[in-house]
């Protein structure tokens, strides 16, 4: 039996969404201490109250450091770890030049295991405790990520990427093999430990209607799985989709007509949406995943955070490794702020933190498990040093409140700001 643990510091817990509350600060409760037992959060409160309630607990004191939920990265491609920050191409050129040649290597189980471990090590060092990842067409790539996550006790969402056209030979499956391989992986992994399977057509241009139909049938047969894909990332991509699916009303309809729209559907990017698409996404309670470093790095466009939030859309935040140029959710929050500024709608520090934690967890349907520090939640947490560099420290020293102290770390912080990471209650970094 693991010993109870009391962690001291400035603990932040969400009582509501900072986008919905009267003011962003009103959505946050602050505590002195948090108690962990068996991988779960069992209490929050004052140091005195928790020590009295749990007199045998081990105490870890982080002083004035900030304790926040572990970051939740809602859209990544772990197989692109080794090609992150490859020189700027447009989306389709980038896939053909960098992504597809690298993904060809993941039929080698040993290589897949090496990159899976490397990816989780790099992201844990950045404070990320939950990820939703695309794999490759190879079942070995899925096994490798889930095995690495299982060894760490980590919550991970992932699935075999399915493509049966417009991809190199060696990276194409078929409608039948995509269905059957995915079904076997669901049977092997879905719901095991902290693992969730996501049915994963890469995007409409790389799947025939027959493949999308097969994957829609698979999702109908396994409705507790998630479904992840890409939507409306670039204007030339949308034109390509229109040429491939001339009967479709719009890009979203290429998924909708095959049963790939509903609660539990995760659509990465969603920048250039038509009014009908916005209405249907909201009605279906699907999730839109904002990937700001990717969208600026590849030149895709500016996500309409404020407009989509006001419509009632579910929004998550993501690095989009390796189209995104950083493994860090701190850098991603900074980029989300910059994109919002360019649209004239700046985001508060509380809103940025919520997007990277509870917002992304809600997008993944995991809001009752991760993304917040509350009694009964899984004990994934990050300890932030708000003075991790001299430049950040000198700004934070002038802060008048917790948000003014946190904001410089969100804008300028990197892995040096990550003082400690706990996954499932255990120290992971």
388-423 pLDDT, tens digit per residue, is 999 999 999 999 999 999 999 999 999 999 999 999
pLDDT surpasses 80 at 85: no
Question: Alpha carbon of 215 to those of 22, 143, 146, 209, 221: distances in Å?
Answer: 42, 20, 21, 10, 10
Report residue 272's pLDDT band, with 50, 70 and 90 as the boundaries: very high
Instruction: Name the domain boundary from 363, 382, 408.
Output: 363
252, 225 Cβ separation under 8 angstroms: no
What pLDDT, in 10s, does the model give residues 341-395?
A: 999 999 999 999 999 999 999 999 999 999 999 999 999 999 999 999 999 999 9
21: domain range? 5-70+371-427
Domain co-membership, 244 together with 140: yes
Task: Using the predicted structure, report yes or no on whether residue 305 has a pLDDT greater than 90.
Answer: yes
Q: Across residues 227-250, what is the average pLDDT?
A: 97
Quick one: tokens of 294?
């990717």
Q: Which of 338, 363, 388 is the last residue of a domain?
A: 363
For 366, phi then psi, to 5°, come to: -115, 20
Give kind and range of the element (H or E) at residue 157: strand 155-159
Tens digits of per-residue pLDDT, 124-145? 999 999 999 999 999 999 999 9
Tell whether 272 and 128 lie within a shared domain: yes
Residue 227's closest CA among 313, 286, 303? 286
Based on C-alpha coordinates, what's the Rg of the chain? 21
Q: In the 8-state DSSP scheme, what is residue 355? A: I
User: Taking each helix axis from N to C terminus, what angle separates 139-152 and 175-189, rounded to the nearest 10 degrees?
Assistant: 20
Query: Which H or E element spans position 161?
Result: strand 161-162
Q: What is the CATH number of the domain that holds 134?
A: 3.20.20.140
Q: Are strands 5-14 and 58-69 parallel, antiparallel or unpaired?
A: parallel
**269 in the same domain as 409:** no
Q: Mean per-residue pLDDT for 168-176? A: 95
CA angle 31, 415, 103 (to 5 degrees): 120
Nearest to 337 by CA among 413, 391, 419: 413
DSSP string, 290-316: E-HHHHHHTT-----HHHHHHHT-EEE
Q: Are residues 101 and 188 in the same domain?
A: yes
**What pLDDT shows up at residue 90?**
66
Shared-domain flag, residues 273 and 321: yes
The average pLDDT across 69-93 equals 86
**pTM higher than 0.95:** yes
Strands (E), 299-380: 314-317
- How many domains, the chain? 2
Q: 268 and 409 in one domain?
A: no
The dihedral through the CA atoms of 159, 287, 235, 338 has a sign that is negative
Q: Name the residue among 392, 332, 324 with its Cα closest to residue 360.
A: 332
Alpha carbons 82 and 31: distance in angstroms, whole number: 40
Q: How large is the average pLDDT for residues 199-227?
A: 98
Is pLDDT at 146 greater than 80 in this prediction? yes
Is pLDDT of 89 > 70? Answer: no
Cβ(380)–Cβ(424) under 8 Å?
yes
């Amino acid at each position: 039996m693991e010993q109870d643990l009391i962690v001291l510091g400035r603990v932040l817990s969400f009582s509501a969404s900072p986008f919905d509350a009267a003011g962003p600060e009103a959505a946050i409760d602050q505590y002195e201490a948090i108690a962990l037992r068996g991988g779960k959060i069992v209490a929050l409160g004052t140091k005195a109250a928790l020590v009295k309630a749990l007199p045998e607990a081990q105490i870890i004191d982080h002083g004035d450091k900030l304790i926040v939920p572990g970051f939740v990265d809602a859209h990544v491609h772990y197989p692109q770890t080794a090609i992150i920050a490859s020189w700027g191409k447009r989306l389709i050129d980038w896939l053909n030049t960098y992504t597809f040649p690298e993904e060809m290597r993941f039929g080698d189980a040993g290589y897949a295991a090496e990159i899976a471990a490397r990816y989780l090590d790099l992201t844990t060092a950045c404070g990320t405790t939950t990820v939703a990842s695309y794999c490759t067409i190879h079942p070995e790539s899925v096994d490798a990520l889930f095995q690495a996550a299982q060894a760490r006790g980590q919550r991970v969402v992932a699935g075999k990427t399915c493509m049966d056209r417009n991809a190199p030979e060696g990276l194409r499956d078929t409608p039948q093999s995509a269905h059957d391989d995915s079904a076997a992986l669901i049977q092997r992994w879905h719901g095991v430990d902290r693992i969730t399977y996501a049915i994963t057509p890469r995007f409409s241009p790389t799947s025939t209607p027959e493949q999308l139909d097969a994957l829609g049938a698979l999702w109908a047969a396994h409705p507790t799985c998630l479904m992840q894909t890409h939507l409306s990332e670039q204007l030339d991509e949308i034109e390509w989709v229109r040429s491939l699916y001339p009967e479709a009303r719009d890009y979203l309809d290429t998924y909708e007509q095959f049963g790939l729209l509903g609660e539990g559907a995760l659509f990465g990017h969603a920048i250039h949406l038509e009014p009908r698409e916005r209405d249907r996404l909201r009605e279906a309670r699907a999730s839109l995943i904002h990937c700001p470093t990717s969208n600026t790095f590849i030149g895709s466009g500016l996500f309409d955070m404020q407009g989509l939030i006001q419509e009632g859309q579910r929004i998550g935040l993501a690095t989009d490794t390796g189209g995104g140029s950083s493994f860090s959710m701190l850098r991603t929050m900074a980029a989300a702020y910059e994109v919002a500024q360019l649209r004239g709608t700046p985001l508060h520090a509380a809103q940025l933190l919520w997007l990277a934690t509870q917002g992304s967890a809600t997008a993944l349907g995991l809001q009752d498990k991760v993304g917040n520090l509350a009694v009964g939640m899984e004990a994934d947490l990050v300890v932030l040093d708000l003075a991790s560099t001299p430049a950040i420290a000198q700004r934070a020293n002038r802060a008048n409140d917790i948000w003014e102290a946190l904001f410089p770390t969100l804008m300028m912080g990197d892995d040096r700001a990550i003082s400690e990471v706990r996954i499932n209650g255990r120290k992971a970094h």
